[in-house]
Amino acid sequence: MGGGDLIFPHHENEIAQSEAATGVPLSTYWMHNGMVNVGGEKMSKSLGNFTTVRDLLDKAQIDPMALRLFVLGGQYRKPIDFTDEAITAATNGWATLKAGLLFGPELGEKLGWAKDNGVLDNGVLDQGAIEQFQHFMDDDFNSAGALSVLYELAKSLQREANLLTHQGKTSLDNPTLQCQWLTLTKLAEVLGLTAMFEQTQPMEGGLSNQDIEQLINDRAAAKAAKDFKQADAIRDQLKTAGITLIDQPGGQAIWHRS
């Protein structure tokens, strides 16, 4: 492997020297990557537009997965242009993929997904999505095309998560949701894209799930007694504690931590 700027004469000279010395072909495949540009110009120290991955992670505080997406979004043989807009797009793209990857850890329990029967490890995968992913990757490592398969799965899961959060139900059944999530996680692993699940815990002195349910019941009782001032006070108390209430038809309410 090497940079595209070294094909001639550097790498051709390497081939000539190596094969003259050994009498055998130097390699079966020789891959040349495109250059990293900044605002249309090649990144270089002499132009003063040089940066490192460490600087991007530490100083610019770019998420490592967003940076990985930025690179994967291009074809390895073609130049990639490092711009603020490109990094913003990659960051937004990672937010979508991350939401999809965390669908299972965050919402699986609410949907009744069992963790002890192996279904989350050995469930059915979407063979159509897998074949699409393989087709793109077999086409000279078309990682941008492969990412489009991941985005399609992630966006579907993101829509279902919004439905579950705001309406208390999903439009897809459990087997389909599990299939989509498992397929997304398996394919994302191929590209090194992983999301860390951080269990949401109430802050010290915060409201437990039982406390929240009790306050919701108290609010419902206040509304039934037409004590709307008390009902609004309870909603404000929950909001201050980081709890979002979503009223449903029939007087029911669902909640989630903001």
Provide the pLDDT for residue 175: 93
Least confident of 113-122, 205-214, 224-233: 113-122
State how far the Cα of 246 lies from the Cα of 200, in Å rounded to an integer.
19
pLDDT at 205 exceeding the cut of 60: no
In this prediction, residues 198-219 reach a mean pLDDT of 75
Provide the CATH number for the domain around residue 133. 1.20.120.640
Omega prior to 9 cis, within 30 of 0: yes
Q: Which residues contact 197 (CB under 8 A, 6 or more apart)?
A: 102, 105, 106
Greater confidence, 124 or 135? 135
Question: Long-range contacts of range 201-204, CB-CB < 8 Å, 24 or more positions apart?
Answer: 202/257
To the question of pTM greater than 0.85 for the whole model, the response is no
Contact (Cβ atoms closer than 8 angstroms) between residue 71 and residue 62: no
Q: Choose the final residue of a domain: 190, 220, 243.
A: 190
pLDDT at 84 exceeding the cut of 50: yes
Q: Tell whether 119 is covered by a domain.
A: yes
Enclosing domain of residue 74: 34-190
Provide the pLDDT for residue 193: 97
Residues 186 and 213 in one domain: no
Greater confidence, 130 or 203? 130
Residues 41 and 124 in one domain: yes
Provide the pLDDT for residue 119: 47
Contact (Cβ atoms closer than 8 angstroms) between residue 219 and residue 243: no
